[in-house]
Amino acid sequence: MRNAYTYISLLLALVTSPIFAQNEPRTAVDFNHSWKFFPGDEPTAKAPDFADADWRTLNLPHDWSIEGQFSEQHLSTTQEGALPTGIGWYRKAFLIPVSSKTKRVFIEFDGVYRNSEVWINGHRLGIRPYGYSSFRYELTKHLKFGSEKNSIAVRVDNAAQPNSRWYTGSGIYRNVRLVTTSKMAVAQWGTFVTTPTVTSQKAQVLAQISIQNPLGRVKDGRRSDGKPETVDVISTVLDAAGNKVATQTSSSVQLTDTLTTIAQQFDLQNPILWSIEKPYLYKIITRIYSQNRLEDTYETPFGIRYFKFDSATGFSLNGQPMKILGVCLHHDLGALGAAVNRRAMQRQLELLKAMGCNAIRTAHNPPAPEFLDLCDEMGFLVMDEAFDMWKKKKSKQDYGLNWDAWHKTDLEDMVRRDRNHPSIFMWSIGNEIREQFDSTGITITKELADIVKKLDSTRPVTSALTENIPEKNFIYRSGALDILGFNYKHEAYGDFPKTFPNQSVIASETGSSLQTRGHYDMPSDSVRMWGKGGPAKFRDGNPDWTASAYDNEAAYWGSTHEQTWKVIRKYPHMAGLFIWTGFDYLGEPHPYPWPARSSYFGILDLAGFPKDVYYLYQSEWTDKPVLHLFPHWNWPKGETVDVWAYYSQADEVELFLNDKSLGIRRKNGDDLHVMWRVSYEPGTLRIVSRKGGKSVLTRTVSTAGKPAKIQLIADRNTLKADGKDLSFVTVNVLDEQGNLVPDANHLITFGLKGSGTLAGVDNGYQASLEPFKANYRKAYNGKCLAIIQTTDNTGTISLKATAEGLQSAVVELISK
């Protein structure tokens, strides 16, 4: 509820805003604008007076790798995406107001890949090897105030290759902020909110608040003038509508150390619980006063929920049994590379939500903080993962080299940064760690679990394991894991209650099945496992580096989608699964070598177009009626074509070719799809699903004629003029009748006018070597994608797509 006081302060804020802003106890400003960038090493650039006028000007987040050209020369292994890496420098000049002289000023980086080194006005602040950690430096004592310019320089070194098993991106690829606080303020990630007891009538909320006091100012709880340093801490809990629901005051708290932690407890009546369906968020506003002067205001969003793993019955959230229906995601955003963009992540999550997915595993590293905010807001559970390797490396130049010096800091920082997110329900200390195979696994697992538990004992610790013979798995034998995560091994799930008695298990990674969108090989009813016992290598694959989109190809260590889902569905003791992966990602183009350069594992392709299996999950994971028919209907006459359908909320489906019935099919037993083997003739396939004799849904696929025109479909037509917002425009190549031409591969050229830029183009083809930053793209299997980004200027944006022999198309957007 807004009261008179709020209105007066709002009015005051409006009238006095510049001065008011300076007097704010804490400001956190976007520090992404107008950096200078140099692609290469320039050691003298750390000097404050270095002349960078001819360097490129850009806004962060920035990933220089994604701007490059694919080349075999960039391949240190096939796994990292074949884009350039190397060293880069960033510089920025900025002013700090005189009013900040009495404050503390920090620069916060959400993530820099990798080995970043930072200088302020020529003073070196530090180095941070791990490219996925968030960190900050205090600038205060090196700053110049008023009209004198400050200079910050960042060297990013991603030269030593290979250092990853997937595409990492290079540069300051996540957001940067400048944070100004009073001397006395809540520490970095300085609050920890837990909910020790939750019922539908009442929730107990506990906030631990760490307050920092400048070094040297406090000795034995006394200031330099000998008086005890005390503060009043007032915290208010607000519901999602902004109503105050509880307040606590801690008066005359003595700050006896440079960091003092206090606890405040709140009792909330009739709390609204956070859930997948209703991701309800509260927040706590904490204010710190010293002698009645406001020193800090700090906001902590949180959610109220409880969950339980049960070794026999699986997982429940707020007392409701549910399966974890998850996917693993790497951090790249397709054509945008690793450069963080909130809308791009939100679109990925929207597509997954519509499929019925309810959980994400952040493979295999801490994600961008905005990703977790989105999961909190949209209702996804998150398995937050720290590492892909420990001390024993997986790639020659990887983080294993930094392990001894950094793992404690990196793991602590992940837990501190992320532990207020209601979406996070598990901490994963590693993926397929090599130490699981020897006794060092015991010590390290115990050490890591202990680091996590000291900072958060409310969530279980897991690790994604591969060795499922208990005696041979030293991570398991450490006894320090709360939940066992197993990658693959779906045939063993049934035995787990015997092999791992009284242990909760989740399938931390499944599938690794392979598809290229819109590509179909006949016949479809035999399974190809790539590697052991299957086609030995790529030479047995397709000459155009494609994998069939029927769900019948997989890496030999994995399974088809159906194989694993059937077992997970069957066993209540399996808490759920994380499919490898939600989206195709750059790098790891298993089983193909160059020129394949991105993965085949996604349920959606790199451009975000669903592959057919998307609808398999939608039919199993949502309540909405689903009917999906494939493949396309353009084949040589007389060819034998397998026609598949996924359906739900129906008893049967019937297929017609040119109005002639090809028969009724029903899923029997644990079937997940139905199939007809059809001798091809051109025309129209029509499928009808029926329940109780009444038709539920109808779908048709018709033989496409000659390619005639372009169709543009923007996922959003009204955008924000904030220089960040995106519209994803799907480009379809259609025939005269409006059918998608399933093999169209026209070169589409884009012309953009108005207040936007073309942020990237893609077509989802794993072996396309066209650049992502371009104003053209070939269609692949009838489709491609253009991503439009707004500028800071309002106005219209118009995208025109042209191609030889096709009628062009225009789409108009508004940016405001």
For residue 369, how far is the Cα from the chain centroid?
9
User: For residues 248 and 510, which CB has a smaller minimum distance to ligand GAL in the complex?
Assistant: 510
Quickly count: other Cβ atoms within 10 Å of residue 148's Cβ. 10
For the bound state, the minimum distance from the C-beta of residue 415 to ligand GAL, rounded and expressed in Å, comes to 22
User: DSSP letter string over 733-799?
Assistant: EEETTS-B-TT---EEEEEEEESEEEEEEE---TT--S-SSSSEEE-BTTEEEEEEEE-SS-EEEEE
How far apart are CB 436 and ligand GAL at their closest, in Å? 12
Is the CB of 464 or the CB of 784 nearer to ligand GAL? 464
Tell me the closest approach of the beta carbon of residue 363 to ligand GAL, in angstroms: 6
Strands 35-38 and 56-58: antiparallel
Give, in order, the Cα–Cα distances in Å from 719 to each of 32, 33, 756, 796, 812: 20, 20, 10, 10, 11
In the complex with ligand GAL, the residue whose CB is nearer, 468 or 487, is 487
Which CB atom, from 86 or from 534, has the smaller least distance to ligand GAL? 534
Query: Among residues 80, 117, 295, 509, which one is catalytic?
Result: 509
Q: Which of 232, 233, 230, 235 is nearest to 255 (CA)?
A: 230
Q: Please, what is the minimum distance in Å from the beta carbon of residue 81 to ligand GAL?
A: 13
432 is catalytic: yes
CB-wise, 388 or 521, nearer to ligand GAL? 388
Q: In the window 588-647, what residues touch ligand GAL (CB under 6 A)?
A: 588
Q: Which lies closer to ligand GAL via its Cβ, residue 65 or residue 512?
A: 512
The SS3 of residue 475 is helix
Going through 130-258 in order, the beta strands assigned E by DSSP cover 135-138, 150-158, 176-181, 185-198, 202-212, 230-238, 244-254
Using CB under 6 A as the binding rule, whether residue 512 contacts ligand GAL is answered as yes
Least distance in angstroms from the C-beta of 536 to ligand GAL = 17
The secondary element (H helix, E strand) that includes residue 499 is helix 496-499
CA distances from 762 to 534, 729, 770 (A): 31, 11, 8
For helices 342-355 and 369-378, what crossing angle results, to 10°?
A: 40
Tokens describing residue 631: 């493949």
**Residue 435 interacting with ligand GAL (CB under 6 A):** no
Candidate residues 150, 175, 362, 431; the one interacting with ligand GAL per rule CB under 6 A: 431
Question: What does the block give as tokens for 150?
Answer: 């400050």
Specify whether the CB–CB gap between 360 and 382 falls below 8 A.
yes
Residue 509 annotated as catalytic: yes
Q: Does 465 bind ligand GAL (CB under 6 A)?
A: no
Nearer to ligand GAL, 77 or 346 (CB): 77
Measured from the CB atom, is 554 or 787 closer to ligand GAL? 554
What is the SS3 string spanning 360-373? EEECCCCCCHHHHH
Least distance in Å: CB of 394 to ligand GAL?
9
State whether residue 665 is helix, strand or coil. Answer: strand
Q: Which of 67, 117, 229, 432 is catalytic?
A: 432
CB nearer to ligand GAL: give 589 or 760. 589
Q: Got the DSSP string for 41-96?
A: --GGGGSTT---TTSEEE-SS--SGGGS---GGG-SSGGG-S---EEEEEEEEE--
Q: Which is nearer to ligand GAL, 79 or 790 (CB)?
A: 79
Q: Which is nearer to ligand GAL, 110 or 388 (CB)?
A: 388
Encoded tokens for 490: 């779906």
385 binds ligand GAL (CB under 6 A): no
Q: Does 432 bind ligand GAL (CB under 6 A)?
A: yes
Q: Tell me: does residue 487 bind ligand GAL (CB under 6 A).
A: yes
Check residue 586 and report its DSSP letter.
B
**How far is the C-alpha of 257 from the C-alpha of 251, rounded, in Å?**
17
CB of 329 to ligand GAL, least distance (A): 11
The Cα–Cα gap between 672 and 647 comes to 8
- Spell out, one character per residue from 158 to 187, where the chain touches ligand GAL: x when CB under 6 A holds, - when not: -------x----------------------
Residues belonging to the chain: 816
| Residues 46/38, Cβ–Cβ less than 8 Å | no
The residue with its CB nearest to ligand GAL is 512
Q: Which is nearer to ligand GAL, 92 or 165 (CB)?
A: 165
Q: Which of 62, 89, 199, 233 is nearest to 151 (CA)?
A: 89
Q: Which residues contact 586 (CB under 8 A, 6 or more apart)?
A: 81, 83, 166, 167, 330, 332, 334, 337, 597, 598, 599, 606
Q: Is 297 exposed, middle or buried (0-12, 13-18, 19+ CB in 10 A)?
A: middle
Contacts of 719 (CB under 8 A, 6+ apart): 725, 726, 727, 756, 788, 790, 797, 813, 814, 815, 816
Query: Nearest approach, Cβ of 564 to ligand GAL (angstroms)?
Result: 13
Among 89, 130, 282, 580, binds ligand GAL (CB under 6 A): 580
| 428 is an interface residue for ligand GAL by CB under 6 A | no
| The only residue of 555, 748, 758, 797 in contact with ligand GAL, by rule CB under 6 A | 555
| CB of 720 closer than 8 Å to CB of 816 | yes
150 forms beta bridges with 94
- Identity of the residue, 361 or 419, whose beta carbon is nearer to ligand GAL in the bound complex: 361
Tell whether residue 509 is a contact of ligand GAL (CB under 6 A): yes
Site string for ligand GAL, 745-784 (x = CB under 6 A): ----------------------------------------
Give residues 708-727 in contact with ligand GAL (rule: CB under 6 A). Answer: none
CA distance 385 to 578: 13
622 with 601: CB under 8 angstroms? no
Q: Residues binding ligand GAL: what is the number (CB under 6 A)?
A: 10
Q: Give least dist CB 367 to ligand GAL, A.
A: 15
Listed residue (509, 439, 500) closest to 475, CA to CA: 439
Known catalytic residues are 432, 509
Q: Please report, as ranges, the residues that interact with ligand GAL according to CB under 6 A.
A: 165, 431-432, 487, 509, 512, 555, 558, 580, 588
